[in-house]
């Protein structure tokens, strides 16, 4: 029967790697959340800009129509 030796340095390395992986995942989750909020804000801003552009185009067509009748 073989004997297995438990190396303390290997356990310490595995624990350190585990902690680093967990902390990296938490950091990436925070970054993803921040980027998601920024993306939603930019989509909202783009939608508002498009609506304003449509309104300005309609006003411009109305003004052009008034010029042609005079």
DSSP string of 30-55, one letter each residue: HHHHHHHHHHHHHHHHHHHHHHHHHH
- Confidence label for 4 from pLDDT (cuts 50, 70 and 90): confident
Q: What percent of the chain has pLDDT over 70?
A: 94
d(CA 62, CA 29): 50
Q: Is pLDDT at 17 greater than 90 in this prediction?
A: yes
DSSP element (H, E) containing 2: none
> For the chain, how long is the longest CA-to-CA vector?
106
């Amino acid at each position: 029967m073989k004997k297995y030796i438990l190396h303390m340095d290997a356990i310490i390395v595995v624990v350190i790697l585990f902690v680093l992986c967990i902390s990296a995942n938490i950091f990436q989750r925070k970054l993803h959340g921040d980027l998601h909020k920024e993306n939603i804000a930019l989509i909202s801003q783009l939608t508002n800009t498009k609506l304003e552009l449509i309104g300005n185009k309609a006003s411009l067509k109305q003004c052009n129509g008034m010029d042609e009748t005079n």
